[in-house]
Structure 1
Amino acid sequence: MKKILFILSIFIYTSSLAQTESTFDEKLAKELGADEYGMKTYVFCLLKTGTNTKATENEQKIAFEGHMQNMNKLVKENKLIVAGPFYKNERNYRGIFIFNCSTIEEAEEWVKTDPAIIANLLEAELTLWYSSAALMKVDEIHDSIAKTKI
């Protein structure tokens, strides 16, 4: 009986290995800019509270409305791949951007178009980041699962 269970477990294990083999989609990998590992370089942006503590409530409102409009513009231009706020925290972290570029200099140019950053209500820290090229599909997938649009 032990022999049968052992053979059965070997069979199940090898069957599961065969099912986990991936099918490489060369066309999709090329479309997303993936390297041989399915990865690519992005610029990760950590948004922190800026140094401007004297802005009026109205100035803040206008700057953050512009911040949202600018983000939407960058998404449409395929420059901003992922963005989102952090919950309130002690580190003054406000949110992140993941930019579809491979140099800090290019991301700096895009950051300079953000009204909340221009007004020093937010500060941006940029660093190169290596991650899955599949992130390029986040917006497309999100649109199909979001019942309410922002």
Structure 2
Amino acid sequence: MKSFFILYFLTGIGFISFAQGTNPQYDAALADSLGADAYGMKSYVLAILETGGTAPDDKAKVSEAFSGHMANIRRLVEEGKLLIAGPLGPNDDRYRGIFIFDVATVEGARELVSSDPAIQAGYLAVKLYPWYGSAALPLYLDAADKIWKENP
């Protein structure tokens, strides 16, 4: 048991000294271009999409709204405002998908989601939350655009 505490203590000290050090790979120009703070992080907005209050009764209207939803996603990605978008698997909540917006405020994200036809029609509803994550998140989009074979 004593050796466990010694190992724990030494591990903790090692972590603390690593956490307080500087990153030898730090690239100030890259960090600045991404808007990173000293921790390599920045503010975003997380959107959780859930089933809306409007029951889909007309298949043509639903199809049109969700075609518009996908077009809106593509537009927001092209504008550099939407970094992550995707559906959630089956769950006990009414959650349907997520977005991560490259905007600093919930109000800014609210303006962006107001252009979504599926949200406008009430087929989807959205909850918005401030989120603090890696400033490098936008960099994944270049790779993501090179690995899809078919457009959903």
| CA drift at 1:145 | 2.7
| CA drift at 1:22 | 4.1
- The ranges of structure 1 where at least 4 consecutive aligned residues each deviate by more than 6 angstroms after the TM superposition are none
Q: 1:82 and 1:54, CA in 2 relative to 1: closer, same or farther beyond 3 A?
A: closer
Gaps of 5+ in 1: 1-16
Decide which of 42, 45, 48 is 2:50's aligned counterpart: 48
Corresponding residue for residue 79 of structure 2? 77
| Counterpart secondary structure, 1:113 | coil
**Structure 1 residue 103 corresponds to structure 2 residue 116:** no
TM-score by length of 1: 0.82
Contact 1:82 1:138 in 2 (8 A): no
CA distance in 1, matches of 2:129, 2:92: 22
CA distance in 2, matches of 1:36, 1:101: 19
Decide which of 115, 118, 123 is 2:117's aligned counterpart: 115
Gaps of 5+ in 2: 1-17
Q: 1:54 and 1:23, CA in 2 relative to 1: closer, same or farther beyond 3 A?
A: closer
- Tell me the number of residue pairs that the alignment of Structure 1 and Structure 2 aligns: 131
| CA drift at 1:149 | 4.3
Q: Which amino acid aligns with 2:71?
A: Q
Q: Quick check: which has more Rg, 1 or 2?
A: 1
Contact 1:43 1:100 in 2 (8 A): yes
Q: Which amino acid aligns with 1:38?
A: G
What's the % identity of the aligned pairs? 45
Render the CA deviation track for 1:49-100: whole Å, top value 9, x for unaligned.
Answer: 0000143111110000000000000000000011100112221110000000
CA distance in 1, matches of 2:134, 2:57: 39
User: Which structure 2 residues correspond to residues 21-36 of structure 1 after superposition, within 5 A?
Assistant: 22-36=24-38
CA distance in 2, matches of 1:148, 1:64: 18
Q: Which amino acid aligns with 2:91?
A: N
Q: Which amino acid aligns with 1:66?
A: G
Cα RMSD (Å): 1.5
